[in-house]
Structure 1
Amino acid sequence: MSNSSAVSEWNISGMAASGILGLAFLVGAPGNLLVIWTIVQHVKLRSFTVALILHLAVADLLVVITLPFWIYSMAQSWIFGPVACKAVVYVVCSCMYASVFLITAMSVERYVAIRYPFSLMNQKRTAILVKALAGIWALAFLFAIPSVITYHVDMMDGIPQCLFRTYSSLSQEVVCFLLEIVIGFIIPYLVLGICYRQVASYLRQMNLQQKCKSSTVIICIVVAFAICWFPYHLNNTIHLFNNPDVNEPDESFYHALSLISGALVFINSSLNPVLYTFVARRFQGSLMKSNLVKLFKDIASTYAKSPESTDLATIPNILHNEQTRM
């Protein structure tokens, strides 16, 4: 592959990624702001699920507001300096970990609320939620630290770009790779799979329409996250085992692939408001805001009362069904 071909490949992939990121910004910025405003202003009674959705929208918004930096960089060059490069990358990586931890917490909370209704009584909810959210963000900021160390500005076909990672050794590269894919993808999705298998079983027994509705919201979030992040982790895996840094053409091709898979990551931060709106269509209302208000209030009211009423009322029936099967 000639150098001109490599430059052309970079330009084409850069333009494609810029278009994707531009669309993500136009959808994600107002969409996540709408979700945050709707919950803060109109949902005073917030369940675990609604609080986690609020923090997820905050994490998505933080990612989306970095998009103008990336769009300009891909269209022209990175002119913001090495400190801004590390800062922007750190924000994105922190929010990536926060997002997957929040989504995992939603599934765990759903399982606990249905399987052990007494464990989330009203007086315990606030304290548990505050500690859980503080722990999630603390871990997210901690696990994102390697990005500050490894990312830097370098030349790509004579143009400075904030897209490069440099490792001091192979062992450091492996550790960073395992940290991202194991902590940020594999373990959370193992937890998600286990929890939702149990949740699906109990929902079938309890036959609660509202719980099914809110579970549908979270399942959509989980699937969207997996679809958008899987190419990124797959690309990193291929890069680690194939070592594309052996020659310049392969390196250029790898960075072109990184642009596309990275752009899909940003798309995820714009999808969740669209998913909420899609589910909210089931409510009657002339404005999207009013539909979202009804959706979030419905989820909040369901889980606010579940330990004392809905869930407890179904326990005798569940026990009877279990004894019948035995």
Structure 2
Amino acid sequence: MQSDTSDYDYSTHDYLNDTDDGLCSLDLHPVEVTTKTYIYSIICALGLMGNALVMVTYIFYKRTKTMTDVYLFNVAVADLIFVVALPFIIYNEQYSWLMGPVACKILRSAYSINLYSGMLLLACISGDRYVAIVQARRSFGPRSHTMIYSRLICSAVWGFAVALTLPTLIYTERFEEPDLGNQTFTVMCQLHFIEGDTAKLMKVMVPSLQMAIGFLLPLIMMVLFYSSIMYTLLRAQSSQRHKAIRVVLAVVVVFIVCHLPYNVALLSHTLDLFKQRSCEAEKMKLGVLAISRSVAYLHCCLNPILYAFVGVKFRSHFRQIVVDLWCFSKKYIHSARSSRGTSDFCVSGLKSSDGSNNMLSFSA
């Protein structure tokens, strides 16, 4: 069983004080492994269901699409890529890597792409909501190029995310590591460096980019845009403003609660990475990293709720999806019934039209 050294293998044994019994073992306790597996399984299941619903709603149920809808769809794609890769990442942390080197590189890069693209797209959503609510007069004009602009922005975000992921993609390798206890070899899939200087550079640069671009930049943009939105909503004489303000607060608070602990733990660990440290201190820091990382992963399950299903239109589409699924199940399970009897009660909502309200559809 491998030690849990986070997404970028931060452990550097040259700087660890070994125990009296030999090398410092960073292997997790079986209870910790089981607990983490259950938590990740829940995240994977909820993330698959929530983000798949957002994508289905966007593709089949929304006729009129806004820039925020395009961003939401791409956030769902990014989160879905990650939750699909998550089971393989979990397995790799506990057992030998069974797949080839190409799959190793792709799966280990999935979290990095999800992080950069997802966080930057959430910042784009805050900017679009700022234009729609604070600069409402300017946004009332014709938006015939909305889809083109939003797709160009999303393409730029994905390209930027892939560029930032290149260090992980290049230096992630599938290699064999001797298991001294069993006199066998364990197949690993993680960052692997031949030269020491490259290892030091990458083990500082990768987490630094993650903290700066994947957390601080989106956080600053969200705080600035949502502060202006809240100020505008507080001045508005509308019965809907309190609900919209609660949504804004929930979006910012959940973002901070999910990602701030992990980034603080990551910063602390990176600063101490090449300092002499005890085995127990290293185990404690890796434990904090593992817990806070699980909380950060949880954000991919909360995105559909915060950004999509709190909106009136998305909720109505979700109810229609449930009705359609029920109708389709009745059609195929109870095939003995007449098709006419089924159609009397089942009216599909595919591609139904909908109106818009900037304040109510803050997340729609």
Shared fold per TM-score greater than 0.5: yes
The alpha-carbon distance between structure 1 residues 115 and 257, as it changes in their structure 2 partners (threshold 3 A), is closer
Aligned AA (1:55): N
TM-score normalized by structure 2?
A: 0.69
1:129-208 equivalences in 2 (<5 Å) = 129-153=150-174, 155=177, 159-164=186-191, 166=193, 168=198, 170-208=200-238
Asked if 1:91 is matched to 2:110, the reply is yes
In the TM superposition, what is the alpha-carbon distance from 1:92 to its structure 2 partner? 1.7
- Structure 1 unaligned spans of 5+: 307-326
The CA distance in 2 between the partners of 1:179 and 1:289, in whole Å, is 40
* Larger-gyration structure (1/2): 2
For 1:31, give the aligned amino acid.
G
Contact 1:63 1:266 in 2 (8 A): no
Question: 327, 352, 357: which one pairs with 1:302?
Answer: 357
Q: Does 1:126 align with 2:147?
A: yes
Q: Determine which structure has the larger helix proportion and give its number.
A: 1
Does the 8 A contact of 1:47 with 1:299 survive in 2?
Answer: no
What is the DSSP-based 3-state SS (H/G/I as helix, E as strand, rest coil) of the residue aligned with 1:55?
Answer: helix
CA distance in 2, matches of 1:266, 1:61: 12
- CA–CA distance in structure 2, aligned partners of residues 132 and 173 of structure 1: 30
- Which residue type is aligned with residue 270 of structure 1? C
Q: 3-state SS of the aligned residue for 1:77?
A: coil
Instruction: Please tell me whether residue 62 in structure 1 is matched to residue 81 in structure 2.
Output: yes
Q: In the alignment, residue 233 of structure 1 is paired with which amino acid?
A: N
Equivalent residues in 2 for 1:276-315 (5 A)?
279=310, 287=319, 289=321, 301-303=356-358
Counterpart-to-counterpart distance in 2, 1:211 and 1:141? 38
1:223–1:280 distance in 2 versus 1, CA, 3 Å = same
> Partner amino acid for 1:138?
G
For CA contacts below 8 A with separation 6 or more, give which structure has more relative contact order.
1
2:66 is equivalent to residue 47 of structure 1: yes
**3-state SS of paired residue (1:186):** helix
The answer for unaligned runs of 5 or more in structure 2 is 1-18, 181-185, 324-348
More displaced stretch, 143-152 vs 243-252: 243-252
Q: 1:261 and 2:292 equivalent?
A: yes
Q: CA separation in 2, counterparts of 1:58 and 1:219?
A: 25
What's the offset of the Cα at 1:20? 1.2
In the aligned structure 2, how far is the partner of 1:105 from the partner of 1:284?
A: 25
Amino acid at match of 1:123: S
TM-aligned CA deviation for residue 209 of structure 1 = 5.2
Percent identity over the alignment?
24
Deviation at 1:257, TM superposition (A): 4.2
**One-letter amino acid of the counterpart of residue 125, structure 2:** M
Q: CA RMSD in A?
A: 3.9
Q: Is the 8 A contact 1:28 1:61 kept in 2?
A: yes
Asked whether the equivalents of residues 108 and 168 of structure 2 are also in contact (C-alpha less than 8 Å), the reply is yes
Q: Deviations over 1:260-309 (max 9, x none)?
A: 33333322212223446873699789948469xx9xx9997224999xxx
Q: Deviations over 1:218-239 (max 9, x none)?
A: 6534433332222332222112
Question: Normalising to structure 1: TM-score of the pair?
Answer: 0.76
The letter of the residue matching 1:271 is L
Matched pairs, number: 303
Provide the residue aligned with 1:30 in structure 2.
Answer: 49
Is 2:44 the counterpart of 1:13?
no
Moved more, 117-126 or 142-151: 117-126
Where does residue 256 of structure 2 map in the other structure? Answer: 226
